[in-house]
Structure 1
Amino acid sequence: MIFEYYSLTDPGLVRDNNEDSVAVDAGNHVVVLADGMGGYNAGEVASAMATSHILDELGRWLSEGGVEANPREIKRAMEICCDNANRRIFEAAHANPLYSGMGTTLVMAVFQDSRAFIGHVGDSRCYRLRGNQLQLLTRDHSLLQEQIDAGLLTAEQAQFATHRNLVTRALGVEDTVLLEVNEFRSEQGDLYLFCSDGLNDMMTDADIGALLGSHLSLEETGRMLVDAANDLGGRDNISVILAKVQARTARRGLFSRMLG
């Protein structure tokens, strides 16, 4: 498989600063998106620390031979990089009063041939469009999701909940964190969307799926998603990473080319 990537982050229409951070290592097929929180400018510090550390550490491991690793080794490497980033953010938050209480959600992926390893902490999401079917591949680590799972709220009621952004898991809040990692099979034509809640809080999954299925370039699709969230109010920072899966075209030999 070959992959095409595009990333975009936008402050939205309400907030003065952007606490989201996105990073893509196309060579090693790693994407990382983080949505920071806490204190004056501390959220953007936490998210930037998460994306830069994970991208550097995981990219280095993959380039030094990790690309040949088995699924168990890749998942473990993702967990270790996440845990190391968590500890750096946690220590920085306790060393500098300006950063006290900072943290960040996270969604990340490693693409390896026909396999996609998706990891997340908090309520940043990953969707996959396959054909005309949009599927949410992550499950929010949030109080709202726990209440939905317990039957205390319906999906319809959850749309109007005032506590929808209270996460139950984040990097930097405690000295350890659990990255949830799942493996999926990729197929030709799959389109993955990684996003902060500034997108999916403003748009329904149906609207997101419609834009993803517009058959435009990744840049045009990404900008349409951000513009749509802003058109609906842009109450939070909006970040997206798109990853498109395409089959590698086999090279034809000289004799077969001569025969047409």
Structure 2
Amino acid sequence: MVRSHNEDSVFGNPHRGLVILADGMGGYNAGEVASGMATTVLSTELENAFVARSPDTPEADGGRYAQAAIRDRVARANAAIFNAAASQPQYAGMGTTLVLALFHDNRLTAAHIGDSRLYRLRGDALAQLTRDHSLLQEQIDAGMISAEEARHSQNKNLVTRALGVDPQVETEIHDHEVLPGDLYLLCSDGLNDMVEDDEIALTLQSLGANLELAATQLIQMANDNGGRDNVSVILVKVLREFPAATGWWAKFLNCFK
């Protein structure tokens, strides 16, 4: 309702169980460029990586290839954005948040940088699976302010980690168990800054059977509450188990972005 152009970018491929959301930052249209580069580079690189090698392949350290591949490809995307910003003055200082989810072998590998979020609705319980890389979150963790005070702070959107701003970036990656019936929400802060978590939960509980309607309703709620930022959401519903031996992601995931 306020921004003149959209700096968010989204990508979803249920055939690969891969969804990506990025919220760009920077002057002029630089944020849009950064988020677009992030989704383009990561979607292409990761799809190619998992064609060549299953994400469930064991690594020497006992982990799975999924985490190693994501970490490596995020580093490449970071370098691409950073180098573009360094070589083109109009893009100087651009960067983007990132939240990425890969569904494989009845699990979810989630990666994030910045304050775009991943939520899970399981039954009636909404859980935030990512923890913001932001000044406000650091202040909450230090006991300087409460979560309620943070909602009304003037320091929103001050991220402590972003893709493409520095030569290297630390990607936070975790694996989570996935159950049939789970509903996952990836969103830019344009949603959760405008809509309380309990309102998000109620919307997903009541409309979760229709992902398109639920996504439309979430965006409308953010805009009705002021719409001070771009609002992007991706919803993924897990229909049944998807063990690694099958690999037919489209049969088991319903995705709307």
TM-score, normalised with respect to structure 2: 0.90
Counterpart position of 1:222: 215
Contact 2:179 2:241 in 1 (8 A): no
Counterpart position of 1:24: 12
Identity of aligned residues (%): 52
Moved more, 194-203 or 71-80: 71-80
CA RMSD of aligned residues (A): 1.2
Aligned-partner SS, 2:235: strand
Aligned-partner SS, 1:171: coil
Q: Equivalents in 2 of 1:85, 1:69: separation in Å?
A: 23
Counterpart position of 1:109: 101
Contact 1:46 1:103 in 2 (8 A): yes
1:245 equivalent to 2:252? Answer no
Moved more, 46-55 or 61-70: 61-70
Amino acid at match of 1:65: R
Aligned-partner SS, 1:238: coil
Amino acid at match of 1:218: L
Counterpart position of 1:198: 190
Structure 1 or 2, whichever has the larger Rg, is 1
Q: Equivalents in 2 of 1:50, 1:223: separation in Å?
A: 24
**Counterpart mapping for 1:35-54 below 5 A:** 35-54=23-42
Aligned-partner SS, 1:134: strand
Contact 2:117 2:130 in 1 (8 A): yes
Amino acid at match of 2:240: A
1:143 equivalent to 2:103? Answer no
1:148-183 alpha-carbon deviations (Å, 9 max, x no partner): 000000111111100111000001110001110010
Counterpart position of 1:130: 122
Using the TM superposition, give the Cα deviation of residue 26 of structure 1 relative to its aligned residue in structure 2, in angstroms.
Answer: 1.6
Using the TM superposition, give the Cα deviation of residue 68 of structure 1 relative to its aligned residue in structure 2, in angstroms.
Answer: 4.2
Counterpart position of 2:253: none
Q: How many residues align?
A: 237
Amino acid at match of 1:129: L
Counterpart position of 2:159: 167
Contact 2:56 2:104 in 1 (8 A): no
Using the TM superposition, give the Cα deviation of residue 69 of structure 1 relative to its aligned residue in structure 2, in angstroms.
Answer: 2.0
**Counterpart mapping for 1:81-120 below 5 A:** 81-120=73-112
1:77-97 alpha-carbon deviations (Å, 9 max, x no partner): 000110000000000000000
Using the TM superposition, give the Cα deviation of residue 64 of structure 1 relative to its aligned residue in structure 2, in angstroms.
Answer: 1.9
What 5-or-longer segments of structure 2 have no aligned partner? 243-257
Aligned-partner SS, 2:97: strand
TM-score, normalised with respect to structure 1: 0.89
Counterpart position of 2:228: 235
Higher RCO, Cα 8 Å, sep 6+: 1
Using the TM superposition, give the Cα deviation of residue 216 of structure 1 relative to its aligned residue in structure 2, in angstroms.
Answer: 3.5
1:14-66 alpha-carbon deviations (Å, 9 max, x no partner): 00000000001221111110000011000000000000100000011112222
Q: Equivalents in 2 of 1:92, 1:145: separation in Å?
A: 30
